Amino acid sequence: MRVLVTTQQGQLLEVRVNADDAAGTEATATESETASAPNPIAPEGKELIWGAGSFLVFLVIMRVYLFPKLKKGMDARYTGIREDFEQADATRQAAQSDVAKYEAALADVRAEAAGRIDAARQTVDAERNAKIAEANSKIAAKRAAADAELAAARAKVRDQVAEAVSTVTARTTQLAVGKSPDGSVVREAVQQVMQSGAR
C-alpha cells in the first residue's frame, strides 16, 4: 500500500510517497517539479498596466491643474520677495538721505553756533577794550591831574624853600661876613643850586 505525505514550507510543497514493498524504498517528489511557484517580487502584467495608467492620470492632473497653481504661487512669492527687496532698498536710501540731511543741518547749526560765539566774543572783546580804554583814559586824566597838582605843589614848595634858603643864606652870610649880601644875587645862587640838585 502506498501512503502520500505532504508537507508545506513557505511556497514549497513537498510530497512523499511511501510504499509498502519489500525493499522499503521511499519515493519523494516535490510539487516544484510538477508546478512552479509564482515570483513574489515580480508584479503581474495587469498591475503594471494599472500602475502606468494611474501614473499617466496623475501626470495629466498635475500638469493641467497643480503645476499652473504651483507656478502661479511661486511667481507670486518671487514677486513679493522682489517687492520687499525694492521696498527695503528704497527705505535704506530714504534713511541715508535723511541722515545726510541731518548731518547737513547739524553742520549748519554748528557753523551758526560758531558764528554766534565768534560774534559774541568779538562784542565782548570790543566792550572790554572800550572799558579798558575808558579806564586808561580816566587813569591818565587822574594821573595828569595828580602830576599837575604835584608840579604845582612842588613849584609852590620850591618857591617857599628857595625863599627860606635865601633868607637863611643871607642871614648866615651877614653873620659870617658882617655885611648884608644883595638879595637878588643870593636868590640867583639858590636857584642855580636847586636846579642842579633837582636833576
Is residue 129 a part of any domain in this protein? yes
C-alpha cell at 195: 636846579
Identify whether residues 52 and 141 lie together within a single domain: yes
Q: Which domain holds residue 119?
A: 47-158
Is residue 41 a part of any domain in this protein? no
d(CA 169, CA 156): 20
User: Over the stretch 121-165, which tens digit does the pLDDT of each residue have?
Assistant: 999 999 999 999 999 999 999 999 999 999 888 888 888 888 888
Is residue 142 a part of any domain in this protein? yes
Is residue 42 a part of any domain in this protein? no
Query: With 0-12 CB in 10 A as exposed, 13-18 as middle and 19+ as buried, what is 181?
Result: middle
Identify whether residues 121 and 147 lie together within a single domain: yes
d(CA 12, CA 37): 8
Identify whether residues 54 and 106 lie together within a single domain: yes
Identify whether residues 66 and 146 lie together within a single domain: yes
d(CA 134, CA 113): 31
Whether the Cβ atoms of residue 1 and residue 20 lie closer than 8 Å to each other: yes
Number of structural domains, the chain?
3
Please state, in angstroms and as integers, the Cα–Cα distance from residue 183 to each residue in 102, 165, 174, 175, following that order: 97, 11, 11, 15
User: Over the stretch 21-78, which tens digit does the pLDDT of each residue have?
Assistant: 544 444 444 444 445 667 778 888 899 999 999 999 999 999 999 899 999 999 999 9
Identify whether residues 52 and 139 lie together within a single domain: yes
Q: pLDDT category, 173, cuts 50, 70, 90?
A: confident
pLDDT given for residue 27 in this prediction: 42
Identify whether residues 167 and 153 lie together within a single domain: no
